[in-house]
Amino acid sequence: MNELLSQPALQSSLIPFCVALAAIVLLLAGARRWAGLAVLVGFYAAAYLIAGFEFVPLTSTRKILLLGLAAIPVALVLDALRKRARVGSGVLFLLAGAALLWVVWPVVQREELRAALALGGMGAIYAVLVTSFASELAAKPRHAGVALLTMSLGTGGAALMGASALIGQLGLALGAATGAWLLLAMWKPTLGAGNTLTLPVGFLNALLGYSAFVYARLPWFTLLPLGLIPLLARFVAPDTKVASWRQTLWLVLSTSPLAALAVLLSWWVEGAPPL
């Protein structure tokens, strides 16, 4: 059993998928509006196996895991509020930028002022944009599920090519867990996404993607297609008269080329991962 649990391929695919699926079933029975949390349950089960839950010394990956957890109560509060004030949203997204700055601070502080501003500023903007684009999909569960699925798989795949199996595995695990949620969202079209799904998962994607650029060798330009995925998903309008699975398929076909482009660009620059 231990041997199975230590298989990287299982850690970032079947395990988060199955754990997320089981969590959704449980949440549907008791707390339907928080079903999006199941994705995080699946992700953190995988993260426990991949990276462990030790937080000393506090490395960038451990900061990401902590920040993902910190985003959960924020998302719960947002879902509890009926109307989100514009000022509140602004503060929230600025916090996302500040959080990313904290993750990359060990590198930023060693750079010259201009390079530090560019590195930190770009990262903060990336975190703000990706988190806000993802958050805008809270009211569109199918769009949210597909966007977060393809963005997570794209981030994981690109990071894997960019010489960080750890970030790659975490990204793929996030994708697998989101896949479980999407599967149920297809089957139960009334399942709501809410901020509990879009905010932490979008935020984690931003942190993982930018960290792979700063701490591994992910080319910076691969972040462009990845960041555009949730924005594109917002404007894709599948025919609502067709079956749910066909609408989902249309969304996947529309957004996955951007994820594939990110992986291909990373592979083109960095080559295949060393196995």
| Residue among 86 and 110 whose Cβ is closer to other proteins | 110
Q: Using CB under 8 A as the criterion, which residues of the chain lie in contact with other proteins when the complex forms?
A: 6, 8, 52, 54, 57, 59-61, 106-107, 163-167, 214-217, 270-271, 273-274
| Residue among 75 and 161 whose Cβ is closer to other proteins | 161
Structure tokens at 131: 């988190």
| Residue among 166 and 172 whose Cβ is closer to other proteins | 166
Instruction: Give the shortest CB-51-to-other proteins separation in angstroms.
Output: 8
Give just the sign of the alpha carbon dihedral 39, 8, 183, 162.
Answer: positive
| Residue among 257 and 273 whose Cβ is closer to other proteins | 273
Length of the chain: 275
Instruction: Give the shortest CB-114-to-other proteins separation in angstroms.
Output: 19
CA atoms lying within 13 Å on the CB side of residue 88: 9
| Residue among 63 and 143 whose Cβ is closer to other proteins | 63
Instruction: Give the shortest CB-159-to-other proteins separation in angstroms.
Output: 10
Instruction: Give the shortest CB-164-to-other proteins separation in angstroms.
Output: 5
Instruction: Give the shortest CB-156-to-other proteins separation in angstroms.
Output: 14
| Residue among 169 and 195 whose Cβ is closer to other proteins | 169
| Residue among 8 and 257 whose Cβ is closer to other proteins | 8
Q: Determine the Cα–Cα distance for residues 207 and 45; give it in Å rounded to an integer.
A: 19
CB atoms within 10 A of CB 47: 27
Instruction: Give the shortest CB-104-to-other proteins separation in angstroms.
Output: 9
Instruction: Give the shortest CB-46-to-other proteins separation in angstroms.
Output: 14
